A and B are shown apart, each in its own frame.
Chain A
Amino acid sequence: MADSGATAPKPSSSVKLVLLGEAAVGKSSLVMRFVNNDFQENKEPTIGAAFLTQKCNLPTRTIKFEIWDTAGQERFASLAPMYYRNAQAALVVYDITKPTSLTKAQHWVAELQRQASPGIVIALVGNKADLASDDSPVTNDESDADAAGTTEGDEEVAESEENENANARKVPTKTAKGYADEESLLFFETSAKTGQNVAEVFTAIANAIPETSLKGPRGVGGNTNLGGSRPEDTSRVNLTGGQDPAGAKEGCAC
């Protein structure tokens, strides 16, 4: 618990991260892009949950993500607490072409805020951005938190646009961004298909995890609990304030 690794030149620490979100929004695809830099067109639904790891190199330290990619299908919902209980970070994913998936994401955020570790870093992620053909696409070059307009309101616009061929987007960026800001969440629009913003999400999370809650990599044995032990004395982080946009460019090892 004490080894926050501050002594070594480039200390490495592990971060437990959980992905939540409605079925088929692209959670597994995001993880696969992050871990293997790969994408599958017709990915089969996750059964149960998959556990993967991936390292992410930051300027001052190496973060090893221990990722729980959970199944979005309703029948697995009751198992979710087992995975987020000790998580330090959560990616709550929705599909920008499917408004109900944002509603579901909001439910997950509320549940995490109620039940997960108080210091948990939450990122709201709108996936399948490649399906949108907006005037203001979110690109790799801008940190999303800054890129997306900060104007709020106008949430009804979401359902008004029905021209599917031209633009499959059903959730306007500002709707989701507005919500994310209210709840102090990190916010990104991503495409697992093109890779757009995927590494950025994970890097931003790595940067947002407070040093104090970091500990060394999992020791072998003895860990009989899905989430490992919970870091103590972490307080809620103010994501909008403390985030360094440049951090997002620090590529992960993917």
Chain B
Amino acid sequence: MATEQTSDAAQEAHKSITSEDPNSPLPTDGTDDNDALQSTSEPVLDVSRENTPPPLPPRPRQRPDDIQHGSKTLAVPVRGARPHLQSKATTALSLQDVHTQSESRRNSYSAHVSRKRSIISLRKGRSRSGSEVDDVASIKSYAPTLGVGADVESILGEVLKNQETGLRSLSEHFALSQQQDVLFPADPEFEEAYLHEFDSLTDVESDNMNEDAVLQQWKLKLKHFMILSSAGKPIYSRHGDDRLISHYIGVIQTIISFYQDAEDGLRGFTANDTRFVILSKGPLNLVAISRLSESDSQLRSQLEALYMQILSTLTLPSMERMFSNRPSTDLRRPLEGTETLISALADGFTRGSPSTLLSALECLKLRKSHRQVINNTLLKTRSPNLLYGLIVASGKLVSVVRPKKHSLHPGDLHLIFNMLFEAGSVRAGGGETWVPLCLPGFNNTGYLYMYVSFLRAEDDKLEEISERPDISSEQDEVAIILISANKESFFELKQMRDDLVSQLAKNRSLSHINSAIKSGRPSCTDIVPGTPLRHFLYKSRGNVQFTMPSFAPHISSDLDRRRLISLYHDLSASIHAKPTTLKVHHNVGVHCISLAWATSFFELYCVAPGTTSRIALTQAANKIVEWVRREEERVFIIGGAVF
């Protein structure tokens, strides 16, 4: 069993990448503009150096290893401000871990696990001071998303050929003519498992006759999440009730506690193609068990999100109090009713979430001038008790209003989105909702109060997005989210919402938002006509936001989506695994060719059919970067409304 030290090393590793090679554009892009790095223009969405104003609870500083992935903020920290940051610096990279060079997914799992282990052992020493400072810190908010400079060498730097053994299945499922379009080899076993991944288990009959069969269903799940108290009490399990799996819980608890007293607790272990990752957080142990070939740090960041969901319900001090009063506390009672929220998060990870993978937000693509009008309207209608205001449409951020002193934490935002769009309880209410919640990235010690209103047809002429019955369209609704530290401010915020919506209707912003929702994400060929790319993810590190094209037409099924995300997971793990100068990573397979490219400004992952040449892929990647540069102020919120 290997125990591992990961995230600090990851940050370290990444730091060295970017500090040694600050800018690395692809060669076809010639501009030289290193000044961007030094730019001192006013920070956007920044974290302030100042302290929290009185009405808000103070934000405790967190050590980097208290919240790892959890601590990314929308903010771009300012150099020199570190020790006083109220939230940890934006560290897109701490998410990623050091290990995988995984060029293939499930097939070579054991191989890549052992490789992981050896890499880990090399970087066991942790450097806490190092992790406090990461490259992103030095980027100013207005940093262009495009890195510039020349590092031609790196472009073709690393080619990892992946001779997939998937040939056998090539002809099995697809007609010859379709092969061009098949990005992922057929894998009937995986398909079958994924198909039933989200089904609930059959109930165990009273005579226990079918228990073995049910356990078999349980074992076929590709992914499990479990949460236990350190005393071993089960708190949550995605699949299977206590009675069914108590035996397994007991085993896991035994293994964890065996290592618990050691200075360095158990972080993970492998059994066949299954990876176990354990995250210990004070009185809780969170466990992810995955056969989806995700890296440890990726799994750990998912566990972090589940942990944040628990804190969001309880707050850290009250949870700690419960356990210190009674170590055998059954946390399921105070968490009653939040299982659906935890499961919605968990299933999001199992389906694959670019947002979590990149630890970044996606914004609704809008013209700069349109977004500006919305920002100004938010500022104009802002009410005194408002802390954060968000406009969200089809699960994407449209605009944010926030105080200068407080950035918005992507992990917090993820919890909010999950509550609103995945779990559905708020949206289904049909009215306006007032929800107490703790945003642990902001302050894990106290509650904030969130006003939520989903716009209906009568708020504007939003006919197309009103009350359509199917779930996908509910995702298209526009939501106004207003957050305050004052629990009595519901009517004040409701008034703000009314003012805001009537002004947005008047200045035509609602119809702009509406048409942006309708047009959806552009397809790859909308972005670059004739591009061989089937999909890409582009993350702007400075803005902690990402953009991507539609999945359609090439990635049509949920299954293909999952496999695409798995590919991105591998690419991301690879590019963050390299300690030094790797910035471009090619992955060549029979069915698809992919590329990961990281600079200090962005990360780009893209995928094309296997018949595409590497040159063509590189050119296509360059085109995407050019496109983002042109569209930067449309696809990203740069600045937002700050008061």
Q: Which residues of A contact B (CB under 8 A)?
A: 23, 28, 32, 35-36, 40, 43-53, 67, 69, 71, 73-76, 79, 82, 220-221, 223-226, 228
Contacts and interface: CB of A to CB of B under 8 A. Distances in A.
Nearest to A28: B429
The 4 A-B residue pairs whose C-beta atoms are closest, nearest first, are A48-B435, A52-B431, A44-B425, A50-B429
Given A221-B495, A225-B491, A73 B336 contact: yes
Contact of A48 (B334, B385, B436, B498): B436
A53 B423 CA distance: 24
Highest count of chain B CB atoms <10 Å: which of A32, A45, A50: A50
Contacts of B435: 47-49
Contacts of A67: 431
Contacts of B488: 82, 224-226
B487 A75 contact: no
Given A75-B313, A82-B488, A226-B488, A46 B333 contact: no
Contacts of B429: 28, 46, 50, 52, 69
A67 B437 CA distance: 21
B257 interface: no
B494 interface: yes
Interface of B: 313, 333-337, 340, 385, 419, 423-426, 428-437, 450, 487-492, 494-495, 498
B491 A43 contact: no
Contacts of A53: 431
A171 to B, nearest CB: 23
B430 A52 contact: yes
A40 B430 CA distance: 12
B469 to A, nearest CB: 11
Nearest to A67: B431
B423 A44 contact: yes
21 contacts: A23-B336, A32-B430, A35-B430, A44-B423, A45-B340, A45-B425, A47-B419, A47-B425, A48-B433, A50-B429, A50-B431, A51-B490, A51-B494, A52-B432, A69-B431, A76-B436, A79-B487, A223-B491, A225-B488, A226-B490, A228-B491
Contacts of A45: 337, 340, 425
Nearest to B425: A44
A51 B492 contact: no
Given A46-B425, A221-B495, A74 B336 contact: yes
Contact of B430 (A36, A223, A224): A36
Contacts of B437: 48
Nearest to B431: A52
Contacts of A69: 429, 431
Nearest to B333: A74
Contacts of A226: 488, 490-491
B432 A51 contact: yes
Given A28-B429, A53-B431, A82-B488, 15 more contacts: A35-B431, A44-B423, A44-B425, A48-B436, A50-B433, A50-B434, A51-B432, A74-B333, A82-B487, A220-B495, A223-B491, A223-B492, A224-B489, A226-B490, A228-B491
A226 B494 CA distance: 11
Given A73-B336, A75-B337, A51 B487 contact: no
Contacts of B423: 44
B467 to A, nearest CB: 10
A209 to B, nearest CB: 21
B433 A51 contact: yes
A51 B431 contact: yes
Contacts of A221: 495
B331 to A, nearest CB: 11
Nearest to B419: A47
Contacts of B334: 74-75
A54 to B, nearest CB: 10
A49 B430 contact: no
B434 A51 contact: yes
A34 B488 CA distance: 26
A18 B405 CA distance: 37
Nearest to A49: B434
Contacts of B431: 35, 50-53, 67, 69
A82 B435 CA distance: 13
B428 A40 contact: yes
Nearest to A50: B429
Contacts of A28: 429
A50 B313 CA distance: 18
